[in-house]
């Protein structure tokens, strides 16, 4: 939800800011802007544009902006519609301060009223503008002290970057609730909402914690807490390759990320096995119940994880939307493990639900992709998924990595609890190791899936059906299609279809049926018969070559067979990712940045 980036150093700042914004565009893309301390004009130059970063880039062509220090922002509107006035950066009355902000200032209305009474004139409808005016109102002779004062006045969640003509050698950044990292370079330093924004300049970072303030010049970074005391922070280094944040010859990030899955699954497996001493496994002997909380695609991973944990670790699991779990009185104690799943580790709903559960006495394990993210630091235990950055707004490679992690976590927990022998553990490890090559097999269906997409891209609705461990994959297939093609789609457990959704079926409705040759195969055949009897169009995702499935299906997408039927979800989701991708591209939709969405949802 909004991306911010800032630079101070020896380079020309405008290209650095634009590159950073391009890599943060997944966070929001309705308007963008930059503020530069122009060394020649000795003032803050602000340029903004409605639309995407490329629109801002075009707007900047031929403009002569000189400077080595600046801040920039890409917006996902919360307060006020996308417009030039509402685009960030926002400046103070005398243009002495410029501010970029990700998050929500909850008490902005009251602050605004007080500032208006003092004579401040507001140019935008945003909550952010109050910060610029507050800085001007309270500045005496020290920017850090002013920021400390303003930080105590504003409520809500924020990551803020500030520059000022009054102290033109520095950026001051502060954080509470929204992500913010400081990138450390040689004679240059950076701030950003996320690592990929500045990955081409540095791999060394500090993560700001809540209520910390960074004062950044080109050769120094100092961190303070809200009391103004200096804080020592240990930098960390990421081994992400810059290529991971680029399209690498693919037309879209989403397609690249779908094709990366054999590699990301390999990395997730080896990451998991290099972390077998993770203290969470010792804890598993004491755990009596598990609650999985997550949103969107991560929630679907949790639904599959429930099957595995109950089977291998023999612990009852409930799975809840983080946004719902937080607001009900669910009893937890120290024998409850809450597993919070989040690609970004910044999703507000998931983070706050996990924090609340921890306060109530539960242990919290997070399964997270972004190293050092807020959720990973707020949890008792963390397991990373090792996918590198995922730029496409639709989650793909991080979903299969979450699945692999949950599967291995379930098996390892079963081993620790005495339900799985060493021999079985090794056998299962062997089954999991076969996944990357099986995923490669699935990817060979790409052309077939594209052809099927051409046949049905004009359908108004889609239904996705699966049974048992594959029913959450039906949910995920429907979500993928909805979010990037804007076609209405529903996912259902196939056995539930006759209790309502069957009424939707007619000769115009494509029904994607996930039917691996597993223990529920026959039941699924019966469900497909029910679809066919009502003239629905069947697209079967299957490893079966039985006559029955062939004769009932209008289209078949092949997946390879897998020895351990519990692993089918990791394969069966991939054709659904490709189906959504092709339908959306045929319809001319922006698959990497679908309308109204943002990759990281840091507001409740
Ligand atoms: O970063 P998270 O995994 O916490 O994000 C959760 C959801 O916002 C996310 O999965 C969303 O549903 C994706 N757009 C799905 O493709």
Cβ of residue 22 lying under 6 Å from some atom of ligand 1? no
Q: How far is the CA of 317 from the centre of ligand 1 (A)?
A: 21
Indicate the residue among 433, 452, 476 that finishes a domain: 433
Q: pTM for this structure?
A: 0.80
What's the pLDDT score for residue 243? Answer: 67
pLDDT digits (tens, 9 = 90+) for 415-432: 999 999 999 999 999 999
Range of the domain at 445: 439-604
Same domain, 215 and 330: no
**pLDDT band, residue 260 (cuts 50/70/90):** very high
Q: How far is the CA of 526 from the centre of ligand 1 (A)?
A: 33
Cβ of residue 528 lying under 6 Å from some atom of ligand 1? no
Distance of CA 383 to the CA centre of its chain: 16
| Domain of residue 155, CATH code | 3.60.20.10
Same domain, 239 and 264: no
Kindly tell me if the per-residue pLDDT of 1 is higher than 70: no
Q: How much is the CA Rg of the chain, to the nearest whole Å? A: 25
Q: What is the mean pLDDT of residues 172-185?
A: 93
Indicate the residue among 243, 268, 293 that finishes a domain: 243
Same domain, 19 and 123: yes
The atom of ligand 1 lying closest to the CA of 597 is: 14
Crossing angle of helices 129-138/108-117, nearest 10°? Answer: 50
Q: How far is the CA of 38 from the centre of ligand 1 (A)?
A: 39
Q: Is 176 exposed, middle or buried (0-12, 13-18, 19+ CB in 10 A)?
A: buried
**pLDDT band, residue 70 (cuts 50/70/90):** very high
- The DSSP annotation for 99-158 comes to EEEEEEETTHHHHHHHHHHTT----SS-STHHHHHHHHHH-SS-HHHHHHHHHHH--EEE
Indicate the residue among 216, 243, 270 that finishes a domain: 243
Same domain, 57 and 124: yes
Residue to substitute in 344, 395, 403, 594 for testing ligand 1 pocket (most ligand atoms within 8 angstroms of CB): 395
Same domain, 311 and 416: yes
Number of domains in the chain: 3
For Cα atoms 286, 287, 289, give the angle at the middle one, nearest 5 degrees: 155
Active site residue 2: yes
Cis peptide before 89 (omega within 30 of 0): yes
Strand residue runs (E) in 116-264: 156-164, 171-176, 181-184, 189-192, 204-207, 212-216, 221-225, 230-231, 236-237
* Better-scored residue on pLDDT, 200 or 403: 403
Same domain, 261 and 317: yes
Q: How far is the CA of 323 from the centre of ligand 1 (A)?
A: 13
Same domain, 178 and 217: yes
pLDDT digits (tens, 9 = 90+) for 527-566: 999 999 999 999 999 998 888 899 999 999 999 999 999 9
Cβ of residue 342 lying under 6 Å from some atom of ligand 1? yes
pLDDT digits (tens, 9 = 90+) for 238-250: 877 776 677 778 9
Nearest CA to ligand 1 atom 7: 296
Same domain, 372 and 416: yes
| Domain of residue 449, CATH code | 3.40.50.10490
What's the pLDDT score for residue 104? Answer: 84
The partner residues of 514 in beta bridges, in order of sequence, read 541
**pLDDT band, residue 601 (cuts 50/70/90):** confident
Q: What span, in angstroms and rounded, lies between the C-alpha atoms of 406 and 420?
A: 16
Same domain, 192 and 267: no
Same domain, 48 and 73: yes
Exactly one of 2, 295, 387, 513 is catalytic; name it.
2
Query: Does residue 213 sit in helix, strand or coil?
Result: strand
What's the pLDDT score for residue 574? Answer: 98
Same domain, 389 and 417: yes
pLDDT digits (tens, 9 = 90+) for 12-61: 999 999 999 998 887 777 889 999 999 778 899 999 999 889 999 999 99
Non-local (6+) Cβ contacts of 570 within 8 A are 265, 400, 403, 404, 407, 435, 439
Exactly one of 170, 203, 306, 599 is catalytic; name it.
599
What's the pLDDT score for residue 577? Answer: 98
* Better-scored residue on pLDDT, 600 or 20: 20
Same domain, 107 and 183: yes
Active site residue 306: no
**16-20, 195-199, 406-410, 453-457: the lowest-pLDDT one:** 195-199
Sign, CA torsion 498/502/507/509: negative
């Amino acid at each position: 939800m909004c991306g911010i980036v800032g630079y101070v150093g020896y380079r020309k700042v405008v290209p650095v800011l634009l590159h950073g914004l391009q890599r943060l565009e997944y966070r929001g893309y309705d308007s963008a802007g930059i503020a530069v301390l122009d060394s020649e004009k000795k003032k803050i130059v602000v340029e903004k544009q409605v639309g995407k970063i490329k629109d801002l880039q075009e707007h900047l062509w031929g403009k002569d902006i000189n400077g080595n220090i600046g801040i920039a922002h890409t917006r996902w509107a919360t307060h006020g519609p996308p417009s030039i006035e509402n685009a960030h950066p926002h400046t103070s009355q005398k243009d002495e301060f410029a501010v970029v902000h990700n998050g929500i200032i909850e008490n902005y209305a009251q602050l605004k009223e007080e500032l208006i009474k003092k004579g401040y004139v507001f140019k935008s409808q945003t909550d952010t503008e109050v910060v610029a005016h507050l800085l001007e109102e309270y500045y005496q002779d020290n920017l850090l002290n002013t920021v400390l004062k303003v930080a105590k006045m504003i409520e809500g969640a924020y990551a803020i970057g500030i520059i000022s003509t009054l102290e033109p050698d520095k950026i001051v950044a502060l954080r509470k609730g929204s992500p913010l990292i400081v990138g450390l370079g040689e004679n240059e330093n950076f701030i950003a909402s996320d690592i990929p924004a500045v990955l081409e300049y540095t791999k060394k970072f500090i993560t700001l914690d809540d209520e910390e303030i960074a004062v950044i010049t080109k050769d120094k970074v100092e961190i303070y807490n809200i009391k103004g005391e200096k804080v020592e922070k240990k930098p960390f280094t990421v081994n992400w390759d810059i290529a991971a944040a680029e399209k690498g010859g693919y037309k879209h990030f989403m397609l690249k990320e779908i094709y990366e899955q054999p590699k990301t699954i390999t990395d997730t497996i080896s990451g998991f096995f290099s972390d077998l001493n993770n203290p969470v496994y010792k804890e598993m002997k004491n755990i009596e119940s598990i609650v999985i909380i997550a949103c969107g695609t991560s929630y679907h991973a949790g639904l599959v994880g429930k099957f595995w944990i109950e089977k291998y670790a023999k612990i009852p699991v409930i799975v809840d939307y983080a946004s719902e779990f937080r607001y009900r009185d669910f009893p937890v104690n120290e024998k409850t493990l809450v597993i919070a799943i989040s690609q970004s580790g910044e999703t507000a709903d998931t983070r706050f639900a996990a924090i609340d559960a921890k306060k109530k006495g539960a242990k919290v394990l997070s399964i997270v992709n972004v190293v050092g993210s807020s959720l990973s630091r707020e949890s008792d235990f963390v397991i990373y998924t090792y996918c590198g950055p995922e730029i496409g707004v639709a989650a793909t490679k991080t979903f299969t990595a979450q699945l692999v992690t949950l599967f291995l976590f379930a098996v390892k927990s079963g081993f620790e609890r005495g339900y799985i022998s060493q021999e079985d553990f090794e056998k299962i490890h062997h089954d999991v190791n076969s996944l990357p090559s099986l995923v490669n097999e699935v990817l060979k269906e790409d052309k077939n899936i594209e052809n099927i997409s051409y046949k049905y891209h004009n359908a108004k609705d889609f239904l996705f059906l699966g049974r048992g461990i594959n029913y959450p994959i039906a949910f995920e297939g429907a979500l993928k299609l909805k979010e990037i093609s804007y076609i209405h789609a529903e996912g259902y457990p196939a056995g539930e279809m006759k209790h309502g959704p069957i009424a939707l079926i007619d000769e115009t409705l494509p029904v994607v049926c996930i039917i691996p040759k597993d223990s529920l195969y026959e039941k699924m055949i019966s469900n497909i018969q029910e679809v066919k009897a009502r003239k629905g169009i069947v697209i079967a995702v299957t490893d079966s070559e039985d006559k029955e499935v062939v004769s009932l299906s209008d289209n078949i997408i092949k997946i390879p067979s897998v020895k351990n039927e519990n692993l089918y979800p990791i394969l069966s989701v991939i054709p659904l990712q490709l189906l959504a991708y092709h339908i959306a591209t045929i319809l001319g939709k922006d698959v990497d940045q679908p309308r109204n969405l943002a990759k990281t949802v840091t507001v409740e």
